[in-house]
Amino acid sequence: MQLERNAFSGHDLRKIYVTGETEVHALRGVDFDIKKGESLVLLGPSGSGKSTLLNIVGGLDRPTSGTLHYDEIELTALDDRDLTRFRRANIGFIFQFYNLIPSLTAEENVRLVTDIASNPMDPGEALALVGLADRKHHYPAQLSGGEQQRVAVARAIAKQPSVLLCDEPTGALDSRTGVRVLETLEQANRELGTTLLIITHNAGIAAMADRVFHFLDGRIARIETNTHRISPSEISW
Amino acid sequence: MRALDLKLMRDLWRMRGQALAIAVVLAAASATFILSMGVHRSLYETREAYYSENNFGDVFANMTRAPRSVLDQVSAIEGVQQAQGSIVQYAILDFPNRIEAVRALLQSVDERGRDRINLVSLKTGRMPAPGQPEEVVADEAFALANNVVLGHEFDAIIYGRMQRLKVVGIGLAPNYVNALAPGDIIPDDTRFGVFWMGEEALEAATDRTEAINTLSVKLQRDASQADVIRAIDRILEPYGGTGAFDRDDHPSHVFLDSELDQLEAMVKIFPPVFLLVATFLVYVVLGRMIRTQRSLIGLFKAFGYSDAAIAGHYLKFAIAIAILATILGAIAGVWMARELTELYARYYHFPILRFSFEPSVFFGASALAVASAAVGAVSGVWSAARLTPAVAMSPPPPPVYRAGMVERIGQNAGFSAIGHMIVRHIARWPARSSMTIGGVALSIGLLFSTLQFIDSSEFMLESYFFRSQQQDISVTFTEARNEDVLFELRQMPGVLRVEPVRGLSVEMNHGNRLERTALEAIPPSAKLTARIDQDGNVISMPPGGLMLSRQLADQLKVDPGDSVYVKMLGGRRTEAMLPVGATVDEFIGARAYATNETIEKLARDGAPVGAALLLIDPAERDNILTVLKTMPAVLSIGDRDLEMSRFEEMIDDNINTMLTFYIAFASAIAVGVVYNSARILFSERAHELATLRVLGYHRLEVAVVLIGEIALLVVISVPVGLMIGFWLAQLMLRMFGSDLFRLPFAPANATYGEAAIVVLIAALLTAVIVARRVMRLDMVRVLKARD
Ligand SMILES: Nc1ncnc2c1ncn2[C@@H]1O[C@H](COP(=O)(O)OP(=O)(O)O)[C@@H](O)[C@H]1O
Ligand SMILES: [Mg+2]
CA distance B588 to B741: 4
Question: Is the same domain home to B87 and B236?
Answer: yes
Complex-level ipTM? 0.91
Residue of B nearest to A110 (CA): B417
Between B727 and B340, the higher pLDDT residue: B727
Kindly report the pTM of this predicted structure.
Answer: 0.83
For residue B270, is it within any domain? yes
In a domain, residue B716? The reply is: no
What are the tens digits of pLDDT across the range B266-306?
888 889 988 998 998 899 889 888 888 888 888 888 888 88
CA-nearest of B220, B208, B229, B196 to B106 is B196
**Rounded to a whole number, what is the distance in Å from the CA of A232 to chain B's nearest CA?**
26
Which residues of A fall within a CB distance of 8 Å from B399? Answer: 102-103, 141
Pocket test for ligand 1, best of A51, A165, A217 (most atoms within 8 A of CB): A51
The mean pLDDT of B519-526, rounded to a whole number, is 82
Contacts of A111 in chain B (CB under 8 A): 416-417
CB-ligand 1 contact for A195 (6 Å cutoff): no
State which H helix or E strand residue B414 sits in.
none
Nearest in space to B664 (alpha carbons), one of B346, B382, B356, B336: B336
Together in a domain, B330 and B237: no
Radius of gyration of chain B, Cα coordinates, nearest whole angstrom: 33
The CA distance from B117 to B52, in Å, is 10
Cβ–Cβ under 8 Å, residues B522 and B581 = no
Spatial contact of A84 and A115, defined as CB atoms under 8 Å apart: no
- A115 contact residues in B (CB cutoff 8 A): 416-418
Mutate which of A18, A24, A43, A200 for ligand 1 pocket (most atoms within 8 A of beta carbon) = A24
Q: Is the CB of B780 under 6 A from ligand 1?
A: yes
Whole-angstrom distance, CA of residue B724 vs CA of residue B718: 10
**In this predicted model, what pLDDT tens digit does every residue of B54-97 receive, in sequence order?**
999 999 999 989 999 999 999 999 999 999 999 999 888 888 78
Q: What is the DSSP letter of B100?
A: S
Establish whether residue A55 lines the binding site of ligand 1, counting it when its CB lies within 6 angstroms of any ligand atom: no
Residues B640 and B562 in one domain: yes
A195: helix, coil or strand?
strand
Contact across the interface for A103 and B418, Cβ inside 8 Å: no
- DSSP H helices, chain A, are 50-57, 80-90, 106-114, 123-129, 145-157, 175-192
Residues B122 and B233 in one domain: yes
3-state SS of B458-482?
HHHHHHHHHHHECCCEEEEEEEEEC
Name the least confident of A209-223, B109-123, B388-402.
B388-402
Closest CA to B613 of B504, B475, B461, B466: B475
Rounded to the nearest 10 degrees, how much is the dihedral formed by the CA atoms of B446, B451, B453, B455?
A: -140
Counting one residue from chain A and one from chain B, the pairs whose CB atoms sit within 8 A come to: 86
Tell me what pLDDT residue B402 has. Answer: 67
Same domain, B502 and B640: yes
Q: Residue B785: its pLDDT value, please?
A: 61
Q: Among B417, B697, B780, whose Cβ lies nearest the Cβ of A60?
A: B780
Neighbours of B559 (CB within 10 A): 10
Structural domain ending residue among the three candidates B611, B646, B681: B646
Looking at the domain assignment, is residue B281 inside a domain? yes
B483, B580: one domain: yes
Span B695-701, mean pLDDT?
A: 89
Structural domains in chain A, sorted by start:
36-63+78-234 (3.40.50.300)
Task: State in Å: Cα A51 to ligand 2 middle.
Answer: 4
Is there a single domain that holds both residue B222 and residue B248? yes
B662 within a domain of the structure (yes/no): no
Mean pLDDT of the residues in chain B: 87
Q: Which has the closest alpha carbon to A52: A163, A165, A169?
A: A165
Number of the ligand 1 atom closest to the C-alpha atom of A45: 22
Q: How confident is the model at residue B225 (pLDDT cuts 50, 70, 90)?
A: very high
- For residues B223 and B272, membership in a common domain is answered with no
Residue B326 has pLDDT above 90, yes or no: yes
Tell me how many domains chain B contains. Answer: 3
Closest CA to B276 of B722, B713, B672: B672
Residue B137 has pLDDT above 90, yes or no: yes
How near does any CA of chain B get to the CA of A122, in Å? 14
Q: Which of B646, B672, B705 delimits the end of a domain?
A: B646
Contacts 24+ apart (CB under 8 A), A128-135: A129/A154, A129/A157, A129/A184, A129/A187, A130/A154, A130/A184, A131/A180, A132/A106, A135/A106
**B154-166 pLDDT tens trace:** 999 888 888 999 9
Burial class for A44, CB neighbours closer than 10 Å (0-12, 13-18, 19+): buried
Question: Does the C-beta of A47 come closer than 6 Å to ligand 1?
Answer: yes
In this prediction, residues B172-198 reach a mean pLDDT of 88
Query: Same domain for B276 and B245?
Result: no
Give the range with max mean pLDDT: A166-170, B9-13, B314-318.
B314-318
Q: Does A133 touch chain B (CB under 8 A)?
A: no
- DSSP 8-class letter at B354: -
Cβ-based neighbour number of residue B583 at 10 Å: 22
The 8-class DSSP code of residue B6 comes to H
What confidence score (pLDDT) does residue B50 get? 93
Considering the domain architecture, whether residues B12 and B130 belong to the same structural domain is answered as: no
pLDDT at A3 (0 to 100)? 47
B489 phi/psi in degrees, rounded to 5: -65, -40
Give the CA count within 13 Å in the CB-facing half-sphere of B123.
19
CB atoms within 10 A of CB B16: 11
Q: What is the predicted pLDDT for the residue at A2? A: 44
State yes or no: pLDDT of B242 exceeds 80: yes
Low-confidence ranges of chain A (pLDDT < 50): 1-3
Mark whether B47 and B59 lie in a shared domain.
no
Residue A79: other Cβ atoms inside 10 A: 8
In a domain, residue B507? The reply is yes
| H helix count then E strand count, chain A | 6, 10
Contacts with A147 (C-beta within 8 Å, 6 or more apart), sequence order: A106, A132, A135, A138
Q: Select the residue of A93, A112, A139 nearest B401 (Cβ to Cβ).
A: A139
Helix and strand element counts for chain B (H, E): 23, 20
Q: Is residue B744 part of a domain?
A: no
* Domain stop point among B223, B254, B285: B254
Q: What is the H or E stretch that residue B537 is in? A: none
Write out chain B residues lying below 8 Å of A88, CB-based: 695-697
Residue in chain A nearest B692 by alpha carbon: A112
Q: Give B562 or B343, the one with higher predicted confidence.
A: B562
Chain A residue with the nearest C-alpha to that of B406: A103
Tens of pLDDT, residue by residue over B13-52, are 888 888 998 899 899 999 999 988 999 999 998 999 999 9
When pLDDT is averaged across residues B231-254 and rounded to a whole number, the result is 91
Q: Exposed e or buried b for every residue in B315-349, given b needs 16+ CB within 10 A?
A: bbbbbbbbbbbbebbbebbbebbbbbbebbbebbb
Give yes or no for residue B315 having a pLDDT over 70: yes
Neighbours of ion ligand 2 (CB under 5 A): A 51
Same domain, B352 and B373: yes
d(CA A50, ligand 2 centre) in Å: 6
Residues in chain A within 8 Å Cβ distance of B418: 112, 115
CA B671, CA B281: separation in Å to the nearest integer? Answer: 11
Do residues B254 and B740 touch, judged by C-beta distance below 8 A?
yes
* Candidate ranges B93-97, B148-152, B550-554; pick with highest mean pLDDT: B148-152
| Nearest C-alpha in B relative to A109 | B417
- Residue B221 sits in which domain range? 55-254
